[in-house]
Structure 1
Amino acid sequence: MVRRASLPVVAAVAVLMLAGCGDNTPAKATGSPAASSPAAGAGASGAASPLPALKPGEVRVAGQVDKPYTVTLASLRGLPQVSVEVEYTSAKGQQKHTYQGVLLHDVLKDAQPRFDASKKNGQLRGVVAATGGGDYRAVFAWAELDPGFAKSQVLLAVSEDGKPFDDAAGPRLVVPQDSKGGRYVSELNQLWVGTVDAAVDGTGGASGAGS
């Protein structure tokens, strides 16, 4: 589904990114996944159809993308796996773990983000908002995830220290370059891809959920 998001929505992403900078604890979900699915489309009248609720463990990939879809731990386990060793600080002290999972960039790339090819390095205008249970959210610049620009290996992890995550909990976001655990979003339920153009240019024309 393609849904037009207003300027406040895109601006809120930037505000949330700044607000989360001081959080040094891995995000632990406390609520149910948001009601969402990329399957529904707009009707003949142009009104958006209601979005069915996500099942536990499902992650919606949407936003300014041509092919929104959902992923699960089961589907992620069937993709090429990457292992990373990480250290970060949390409220529980220094953490050191080995995670296995799929590169976040590969998952988002399959949704075919709609970056403006007429702009030089148009993908550098991109942002990704990751939402977990309890409406926890963390924001990334696309360049942090794109191996063409960054050496980091941000993962959708399927296991920690060899122990698989529960299917109903879904994957965990793992950010090896972060020294604090605020963007290690658990019980992930949405990955939104967009651009900052509407907020920066004041046009209010950024796209919301994909179709």
Structure 2
Amino acid sequence: MHLRAPWAVHVIGAGLAVSVLAGCSEGTSPPEAAPTASPTTASPSAPTASVAPLAPGEVRIAGEVDKPYTLTLSDLRSRPQVSVRVEYTSAKGRQKHTYQGVLLHDVLKDAQPRFDTSRKNGQLRGIVAATGGGDYRAVFGWAELDPGFARSRVLLAVSEDGKPFEAAEGPRLVVPQDTRGGRYVSELNQLWVGTVDPLVDGTPGSARAGG
């Protein structure tokens, strides 16, 4: 019978302990807990002002203006009327009509656009987006509408060839200087006024839709 020295027992015990620990770490380690997803914080968005829905025949004038407002076909009919005879090409062929309505410039001027008067002819940076039925949209430069720069007589028309538009048809934008009818926006419901500066210079501001 051979007796092991005490130091050998300690060595053997230590070796067994190491082996057991190694075995646990290699084969019997408890499964790692599934990583918990950290709660995501929604990026703050700019507050949006509630906008009242429009009734048929109403037009909202908004954008970079001091006095946004909404008008109706009845409001337009109560203003001084202008008549224009136009000819243009549309998907239906050659069109010839007489329209009666209100000058677009006068309607927009009442909203008091916020053009930068510290710049020379600051209003020439202005743009107007007209939106109609089916989200149809056309854009104008302010100088196209301003009688101080152009001879155009762009109308918010309330009748065609003497026949008044119904509220469901809304006022129609009439652009006498255009040879095609693409900017004759029907069922007009919004006029947005702003400037090109935010787009050209990359600065925030006039890209807002509200007033």
Question: What TM-score range do you get, normalising by the shorter chain?
Answer: 0.7 to 0.9
- Deviation track 1:54-112 (CA, whole Å, cap 9, x = no partner) reads 11111100000000001111000000100000000011111000000000000000000
State the aligned residue count.
166
Q: Identify the residue that residue 36 of structure 1 maps to in structure 2.
A: none
- Deviation track 1:10-60 (CA, whole Å, cap 9, x = no partner) reads xxxxxxxxxxxxxxxxxxxxxxxxxxxxxxxxxxxx833321211111110
Matches within 5 A, 1:130-149: 130-149=130-149
Tell me if the contact between 1:74 and 1:167 (Cα under 8 Å) persists in the aligned partners: no
DSSP-derived class of the 1:152 partner: coil
Q: Identify the residue that residue 100 of structure 2 maps to in structure 1.
A: 100
Q: Identify the residue that residue 64 of structure 2 maps to in structure 1.
A: 64
Matches within 5 A, 1:1-211: 47-211=47-211
Query: Structure 1 residues 168, 104: CA separation in 2 closer, same or farther (over 3 Å shift)?
Result: same
- CA–CA separation in structure 2 for the residues paired with 1:92 and 1:51: 36
Query: Unmatched 5+ residue regions in structure 2?
Result: 1-45
- Deviation track 1:117-174 (CA, whole Å, cap 9, x = no partner) reads 1000000000000000111000000000000000010000000000000023210000
- CA–CA separation in structure 1 for the residues paired with 2:49 and 2:208: 14
Tell me if the contact between 2:113 and 2:193 (Cα under 8 Å) persists in the aligned partners: yes
Letter of the 2:70 partner, please give it.
T
Letter of the 2:139 partner, please give it.
V
Tell me if the contact between 2:129 and 2:137 (Cα under 8 Å) persists in the aligned partners: yes
How far did 1:207 drift? 4.8
- Of structures 1 and 2, the one scoring higher in RCO (CA 8 A, sep 6+) is 1
| 200-209 or 154-163, larger mean C-alpha shift | 200-209
Tell me if the contact between 2:153 and 2:176 (Cα under 8 Å) persists in the aligned partners: yes
- CA–CA separation in structure 2 for the residues paired with 1:137 and 1:207: 16
How far did 1:210 drift? 4.0
Letter of the 2:120 partner, please give it.
K
Tell me if the contact between 1:66 and 1:210 (Cα under 8 Å) persists in the aligned partners: no
- CA–CA separation in structure 1 for the residues paired with 2:207 and 2:134: 24
DSSP-derived class of the 2:74 partner: helix
Letter of the 2:125 partner, please give it.
R
- CA–CA separation in structure 2 for the residues paired with 1:101 and 1:161: 12
Sequence identity of aligned pairs in percent?
78
Question: TM-score under structure 2 normalisation?
Answer: 0.76
